[in-house]
Amino acid sequence: MTSEKLKCDLCGSEIQKEPVRKNFDGEEKVFCCDGCARVYGEAHKKGLLNQILTNKSHKKG
Ligand SMILES: [Zn+2]
């Protein structure tokens, strides 16, 4: 049995404990903590999701 680790949809960290689950536009997202869930929710509301996710994944350039 493979135990697949979930990754936080905001910061990309592996989620070690129980994930925080939230629904956005019918899509379930998982987060490592309430903080990430809240930041994601705020960004989603303001339409800044692409911006913050891009910032997280492209540290150079
Ligand atoms: Zn996180």
Give the separation between CA 6 and CA 47, rounded to whole angstroms.
Answer: 24
- Angle between the 34-46 and 49-57 helix axes, to the nearest 10 degrees? 130
Distance 48 CA to ligand 1 centre (A): 17
| Domains annotated on the chain, with CATH | 7-61 (2.30.170)
Distance 46 CA to ligand 1 centre (A): 19
Task: Output the pLDDT for position 2.
Answer: 67
In the predicted model, residues of the chain with pLDDT beneath 70 are 1-3, 56-61
Give the separation between CA 48 and CA 18, rounded to whole angstroms.
Answer: 26
Distance 45 CA to ligand 1 centre (A): 18
Residue 45 makes CB contacts below 8 A (sequence gap 6+) with none
Gap between the terminal Cα atoms of the chain? 40
